[in-house]
Structure 1
Amino acid sequence: MQGGSGLNSVPPASIDKTRVLDVKPLRSLKPIWPSPDQAPNYVQAPPSGPFPAGYSPFYPFASPPPASQPPAAPTPLRSFRTPEPSTAVPNGDVESSMDASRGSDSRKRSGRPLRSAQKMTSAERRSRALEIPVNHNFVSPISLVQREDGNREVVDLVMIAFDGLRRRLSQLEDSGMTPSGLAKRADLKAGNMLMTKMFRTNQRRRVGTVPGVEVGDIFFFRMELCVLGLHAPSMAGIDYLNVKGESDEDPVALSIVSSGYYDDDAGDENVLIYSGQGGGANMVEKQASDQKLERGNLALERSLRRGNEVRVIRGMRDGVNLNSKVYVYDGLYTIQESWMQKGKSGANIFKYKLVRVPGQSPAFGIWKSIEKWKEGVSTRAGLINPDLTSGAEGTPVTLVNDVDNEKAPGYFTYFPSLRYFKPYNALSSSSCKCQSSCNPGDLNCSCNQTNKGDFAYIGNGILVSRKPMLYECGPSCQCFPGCKNRVSQSGLKLRLEVFKTKDRGWGLRSWDPIRAGTFICEYAGEVIDKARLKQRLQEGEKDDYVFDTSRVYQPFKWNDPGLLERDSSDDPSAEEVYNIPSPLVISAKSFGNVARFMNHSCYPNVFWQPIIYEDNSQSYMHIAFFTLRHIPPMTELTYDYGVVTNEGDVSSNLRKRKCLCGSSKCRGFFGL
């Protein structure tokens, strides 16, 4: 079975999973302390004992019962209570860093105490209120039912809204259009605004899977886990709630985040050795102390006894941006064992062994495989060619087929850009006179002026918003070739792979996790006249590699969802409608790059953006592809091919194909 651990980890059969837990809201939890007679027994012991003489082992440190003895009957669980409608973090009380601790003792890491809203002066409150140009008339599109229980479309909608708002806040900060410090943590601001406006889902807390969140999904910010209901705390690594049993209340663990801050052993794809929270166990100074059996630690111990499943989110360093982390949802695990040992700080810490539930889709296991491929590409199963581009790109593109015996796609010449036979003069651009690199907010930069004063990208090269037309600096500009406004001209940066699909020919995917708004590639090939294309089709010439801007494309929203006020009274939705005065038709049949291998989907994860820049005083338009949402490694990259506009055209029937994308929004056909 895929994703199986190879270990038998079956919860006690007597657990009735049809019954629902009765849960108190998180803010009402009370820590449960061990009894006085148990407190002195915090001693270091291996997972299976033995304990030192004179000490009486207590749960969870007692050795597991022999196989001949039946396990203790689990405590039955009752129904959840619905939590309060909002758990938004108040302005001013948001932590400066979220993924650094599993316990509340981390609130002092910043070196100064947090200033609560109640202790702020009226002037400070007014200043805070003016920081973000909030649209107070915004109404969340998420219904009450969807807030409690989501689905895949709702999850994607919330994720796109979160990242669109976060990018816009970052852009405002970069441009100096807001008070300093607004977007130092734009992810916190964006998450707080979404939760305040009820733009969230899966607010009903639960044990087990979260509706709409799939195993293998990736996240770049802890607040994304919060707004989706996957892991409620924005900092703590253990999410738990009190549940009502037959006689008393106990905490139960819902999810954990293993972010590498504590002494976790996360090297195995099916087993995780997880460290408990609290005690400053991450520290090497004298302040470190032994962890206590309370809060999240107690919840994990109780979940070990109950046998309930726990969601596991694994955090790891982003291979593309080494200063950030990626979090992957690795599915459901069960806790099989616990013990105490000395950590690197010298303090005693709790350890929990979690084993992945068999039968789930691979997630973290895929990352482990990719690590091996990067060490030596020859270990990649089905490898045909280690670099399809033959050095034309700075980053190699592997060619793989583990489906059938086809050795290569049809012959073509790899070409990384467009072959123009004449300039594209339908739109004009102007070259800037900036020294070194163009700067956000510089109104003297002609390229910024052409983009209506906005710098198109934030610091890490992420596109902020879809535009009717985006203007980049080009070879005619005086800024350096490494200017941050030349993202689409930088070539491939991701480690891509062309692979054989089961039913749609060749496809394209990435070894790297990809953040929403990341540049993938441009559509390379020969720019041809629409009349010439029509003539080719009428003559019976087959061309399955045509990109045509005049097709009808499914509309979608990707920019800031409207939570921020706009300086202009224009309809915000109009900004996402492309403005292309004359069609651009590109054929990648004979000349092209990796874009020619991207398949169609009626529910794609990639979109195209028209970009224009100047070269030798002539304007040329290009089609650049950006990611619509976060894309996990080894997920196929797809975009909408569109539909031919003129059904009466003789070429339209020749260019219509049956769609095999398999999405719930499939139209049944697409243009080609």
Structure 2
Amino acid sequence: MGSLIPFQDLNLYPDHASTGTSTTTVTLIPKIEPKPEPLDEPLHSPFEKQPFSPNPNPNFPQPNTPISDPNSNSVPNNSLTQCDNLSSDESNVYSEFYRISELFRTAFAKRLQRFGDVDVLDPDSRAIVPVSDENQLSTVVVSPRRKYNQRSSELVRVTDLGIEDQRYFRDIVRRTRMVYDSIRISSMTEDDKRRCLGPVRKTRGDLKAAALMRDCGLWLNRDKRIVGSIPGVHIGDVFFFRMELCVVGLHGQPQAGIDYVPASQSSNGEPIATSVIVSGGYEDDEDAGDVIVYTGHGGQDKNSRQCVHQKLEGGNLALERSMHYGIEVRVMRGFKYEGSASGKVYVYDGLYKIIDSWFDVGKSGFGVYKFKLIRMDNQLEMGSATLRFAENLRTRPLVARPVGYISLDISMKKENVPVFLYNDIDNDHEPVYYEYTSSIVFPPFVYQQVGSGTGCDCVLGCVDDCFCAMKNGGEFPYEHNGILLRGKPLIFECGPHCRCPPTCRNRVSQKGVRNRFEVFRSRETGWGVRSLDLIQAGSFICEYTGVVLTREQAQLFTMNGDSLVYPNRFAERWAEWGDLSQVFSDYMRPAYPSIPPLDFAMDVSRMRNVACYMSHSSTPNVLVQFVLYDHNSVSFPHLMLFAMENIPPLRELSLDYGVADEWTGKLPICN
């Protein structure tokens, strides 16, 4: 296993660290003022009812906010006064105090908490500031709430991760993100159902998913504050929502652009920054990729215009202290991206060192703090740079990469979009020698079971109680944008005998490929597949095609040494997508509709498609989902592939074949 190293004692300055002599430092208690990101929407919980509440979501307290203890001696809501030992004059005084306190809280508490001037224990409490236990009165009403573990202030660095350790942490991050996406998508689908019954308030699925996961203790990296890389998070990983960064522990602030350990929690009384988000929201920011001039927080009005001088406090002071101690920071870039679930995307670009800081006059004429960040060496290419390069490949492939393309469409227009073939390693052109088929080839007898009148009668589009919904267990497998809600043993899509239009929400995988793919040659994995588009988790990718053989035919092919693909050997990764057993104790794995054991093989020695070149992985980013739509033989389903996570452009796609070649880790057909 890797090593979890406690960070160096920050009470020792670098020039004294080697000798062990301490230097007296001045304890700085800065005013905590997060840097708001102008591109982000205000963080409001779907459960918010009180517009003036300092913490709008009672089930989702803000980070670093003290939480009331449900086991404390607070009086329940039905007991407003237990002051029998107080005189009537004293009771009147305290009643007047609570009335004034309530007026004050209503008018100012939300604003004060935003800038960190006060800590609010609970939105239902009558106190603005924390009160010591010995001074608390039993008349204070505190609603019972779950006591969350506050985020740790202990700085550690994770080092020396082996291959198995990396796979372990990657799998944890992947599963956590799947839970997040499943809850978010399901909550939006439930909103759509309620909206059909009448007007309802639209909820933020990203906030609801984060709140529910925090209730269940599923946020990662809360027990330690990690300096440097987060185990299981790779450079280039993309996120559609800020709250997802909090869930995986990459950046702990829902809105603030600087994540740091506050001075009040730091071991030496100084704030320490651990990560920043660069979104271009500050006019004085300069982003050259490997070099960033980052503008500090504060001094902006509600229209994101600089209106006062910035101060060296909070996140600004934390960045300065991280520079002083030589502590690297993680950098995420946020920008608008067409096709994103939120209209924006956040990409992790690696580690940067803060090498300089100064106070300067900004473009608006007000003083701002600036920090120069330099990207550290020996890291993978920045994810944001890869996104820009992939955009050029989609539009001008021969200009972006003049050398290496063998074909600009090996599908010969059989797919909706071209499939590129690229090899700048050797002279192998093998994929062009196969006949490309965009759909699996079944034996003729499979279609003999198709009968008339077996489809739905939905003319304008399928509804929740139609015939096809009932075949799927009473619910549709996809949401309105075609995202898979949760995996099942088998999915019934609307077929040729259904009256619904091609735009029906239950016709997803049968529409074919929508993303632009590239079959490429790699020194490490042989032939592989990558996308030129950003693929959202739960999206359909393509079908795994070939010629279906019965058991007898497969045995003959095996005797001749031909390589076959056996659908029954694919790992049941579909069960992981939408698995909410960690959130709901009564969750049951879908068992309907069920299918018998698949007793056929696929020959890809003559006819195949892009899916046949996907690599094998024990931690894949693609799953196999069995689907029926053009016939009713459950023994011969289509093998449809869906994304298990957000897949950035130019990242290799991988499947869990179940049984792989022991020498290469890939099926023989892909070598």
Contact 2:493 2:506 in 1 (8 A): yes
Shift, 1:467, TM fit: 0.6
The alpha-carbon distance between structure 1 residues 325 and 259, as it changes in their structure 2 partners (threshold 3 A), is: same
Contact 2:598 2:636 in 1 (8 A): no
Q: Which residue of 2 aligns with 1:651?
A: none
Contact 2:414 2:438 in 1 (8 A): yes
In the alignment, the residues of structure 1 paired with residue 490 and residue 304 of structure 2 have an alpha-carbon distance, to the nearest angstrom, of 53
Contact 2:340 2:536 in 1 (8 A): no
Greater RCO (CA < 8 Å, at least 6 residues apart): 1
User: What secondary structure, in the 3-state scheme, does the structure 2 residue paired with 1:573 have?
Assistant: coil
Q: Which residue of 2 aligns with 1:90?
A: 58
Residue in structure 1 matching 2:314, options 286, 292, 295: 295
The alpha-carbon distance between structure 1 residues 194 and 398, as it changes in their structure 2 partners (threshold 3 A), is: same
In the alignment, the residues of structure 1 paired with residue 417 and residue 504 of structure 2 have an alpha-carbon distance, to the nearest angstrom, of 20
The alpha-carbon distance between structure 1 residues 510 and 434, as it changes in their structure 2 partners (threshold 3 A), is: same
Shift, 1:494, TM fit: 1.6
Q: Which residue of 1 aligns with 2:36?
A: none
Q: Which amino acid aligns with 2:193?
A: S
Contact 1:262 1:281 in 2 (8 A): no
In the alignment, the residues of structure 1 paired with residue 59 and residue 199 of structure 2 have an alpha-carbon distance, to the nearest angstrom, of 16
Shift, 1:317, TM fit: 3.0
In the alignment, the residues of structure 1 paired with residue 631 and residue 343 of structure 2 have an alpha-carbon distance, to the nearest angstrom, of 35
Residue in structure 2 matching 1:233, options 245, 250, 253: 253
Residue in structure 1 matching 2:184, options 159, 162, 166: 166
Q: Which residue of 2 aligns with 1:58?
A: none
User: What secondary structure, in the 3-state scheme, does the structure 1 residue paired with 2:637 have?
Assistant: strand
Q: Which amino acid aligns with 2:58?
A: P
User: What secondary structure, in the 3-state scheme, does the structure 1 residue paired with 2:641 have?
Assistant: strand
Contact 2:281 2:304 in 1 (8 A): no
What is the identity percentage for the equivalent residue pairs of Structure 1 and Structure 2?
36
**More helix, by proportion:** 2
Asked whether 1:433 is paired with 2:457, we answer yes
User: What aligned pairs does 1:306-345 form with structure 2 within 5 A after superposition?
Assistant: 306-321=325-340, 323-339=342-358
Contact 2:393 2:532 in 1 (8 A): no
In the alignment, the residues of structure 1 paired with residue 519 and residue 267 of structure 2 have an alpha-carbon distance, to the nearest angstrom, of 59
User: What secondary structure, in the 3-state scheme, does the structure 2 residue paired with 1:418 have?
Assistant: coil
Q: Give a deviation string over 1:396-441, Cα, whole Å, max 9, x none.
A: 22211122222343611222112333235779993222233334xx
Q: Which moved more, 1:176-185 or 1:414-423?
A: 176-185
Asked whether 1:517 is paired with 2:538, we answer yes
Q: Which residue of 2 aligns with 1:186?
A: 205
User: What secondary structure, in the 3-state scheme, does the structure 2 residue paired with 1:175 have?
Assistant: helix
Aligned residues: 541
The alpha-carbon distance between structure 1 residues 284 and 241, as it changes in their structure 2 partners (threshold 3 A), is: closer
Shift, 1:491, TM fit: 1.9
In the alignment, the residues of structure 2 paired with residue 249 and residue 468 of structure 1 have an alpha-carbon distance, to the nearest angstrom, of 55
In the alignment, the residues of structure 2 paired with residue 158 and residue 484 of structure 1 have an alpha-carbon distance, to the nearest angstrom, of 27
Q: Which residue of 1 aligns with 2:292?
A: 272
User: What aligned pairs does 1:29-428 form with structure 2 within 5 A after superposition?
Assistant: 30-31=30-31, 90-91=58-59, 117-118=123-124, 151-176=169-194, 184-203=203-222, 204-242=224-262, 249-263=269-283, 268-280=288-300, 283=303, 288-321=307-340, 323-339=342-358, 349-364=368-383, 365-378=385-398, 379-380=400-401, 381-409=403-431, 411-422=433-444, 423=446
User: What secondary structure, in the 3-state scheme, does the structure 2 residue paired with 1:455 have?
Assistant: coil
Q: Which amino acid aligns with 1:187?
A: D
Contact 1:284 1:344 in 2 (8 A): no
Contact 1:171 1:455 in 2 (8 A): no
Asked whether 1:559 is paired with 2:578, we answer yes
Contact 1:239 1:254 in 2 (8 A): yes
In the alignment, the residues of structure 2 paired with residue 454 and residue 94 of structure 1 have an alpha-carbon distance, to the nearest angstrom, of 35
In the alignment, the residues of structure 1 paired with residue 186 and residue 556 of structure 2 have an alpha-carbon distance, to the nearest angstrom, of 45
Contact 1:475 1:616 in 2 (8 A): no
Shift, 1:529, TM fit: 1.9
In the alignment, the residues of structure 1 paired with residue 504 and residue 247 of structure 2 have an alpha-carbon distance, to the nearest angstrom, of 35
Structure 1 unaligned spans of 5+: 1-11, 20-27, 34-86, 96-103, 109-113, 121-127, 130-135, 137-144, 644-655, 663-667
Contact 2:59 2:215 in 1 (8 A): no
Contact 1:174 1:458 in 2 (8 A): no
In the alignment, the residues of structure 2 paired with residue 534 and residue 288 of structure 1 have an alpha-carbon distance, to the nearest angstrom, of 77
Shift, 1:500, TM fit: 0.9
Shift, 1:463, TM fit: 0.6
TM-score with structure 2 setting the length: 0.70
Q: Which residue of 2 aligns with 1:529?
A: 550
Contact 2:353 2:375 in 1 (8 A): yes
Shift, 1:180, TM fit: 7.2
Q: Which residue of 1 aligns with 2:46?
A: none
The alpha-carbon distance between structure 1 residues 621 and 347, as it changes in their structure 2 partners (threshold 3 A), is: farther
Q: Which residue of 2 aligns with 1:508?
A: 529
Shift, 1:107, TM fit: 9.2
The alpha-carbon distance between structure 1 residues 307 and 389, as it changes in their structure 2 partners (threshold 3 A), is: same
In the alignment, the residues of structure 1 paired with residue 226 and residue 198 of structure 2 have an alpha-carbon distance, to the nearest angstrom, of 40
The alpha-carbon distance between structure 1 residues 156 and 329, as it changes in their structure 2 partners (threshold 3 A), is: same
In the alignment, the residues of structure 2 paired with residue 670 and residue 597 of structure 1 have an alpha-carbon distance, to the nearest angstrom, of 8
Asked whether 1:587 is paired with 2:603, we answer yes
What's the RMSD between the two structures over aligned residues?
4.5
In the alignment, the residues of structure 2 paired with residue 414 and residue 671 of structure 1 have an alpha-carbon distance, to the nearest angstrom, of 15
In the alignment, the residues of structure 2 paired with residue 89 and residue 446 of structure 1 have an alpha-carbon distance, to the nearest angstrom, of 40
In the alignment, the residues of structure 2 paired with residue 284 and residue 618 of structure 1 have an alpha-carbon distance, to the nearest angstrom, of 58
User: What secondary structure, in the 3-state scheme, does the structure 1 residue paired with 2:225 have?
Assistant: coil
In the alignment, the residues of structure 2 paired with residue 291 and residue 557 of structure 1 have an alpha-carbon distance, to the nearest angstrom, of 48
Asked whether 1:608 is paired with 2:576, we answer no
Shift, 1:343, TM fit: 6.2
Q: Which residue of 2 aligns with 1:57?
A: none
Shift, 1:233, TM fit: 0.9
Contact 1:237 1:258 in 2 (8 A): yes
In the alignment, the residues of structure 2 paired with residue 516 and residue 18 of structure 1 have an alpha-carbon distance, to the nearest angstrom, of 51
Contact 2:330 2:351 in 1 (8 A): yes
